[in-house]
Structure 1
């Protein structure tokens, strides 16, 4: 495991923790809280979805 993997795991855990506290957070809001770009959050969320760690519920516009 290299530094990038560890860094990514830490970020994934931070995002999961935020979603556990409030599952209605947008990628933009998560980005603001973590002080990273929205695009970075979207990439992390995509990986978490791909790994079936999180799932999206509801419509694209109103889902959680």
Structure 2
């Protein structure tokens, strides 16, 4: 893999991690701002985590290629 490939993978991983952890940082603000319960917030975070994990597993099984 070239340095260009390494930098692309690093940038993608950084962006994905930033988006993923933003969900955790935003939970308190979402609860207060929208007045949702702790249970609904927990279910929402769980759904986001499962969706993120499923997307990554599917992407890896395809050999890193996106479907068209």
TM range (shorter): 0.3 to 0.5
Question: With structure 1 as the length reference, what TM-score do the two structures score?
Answer: 0.35
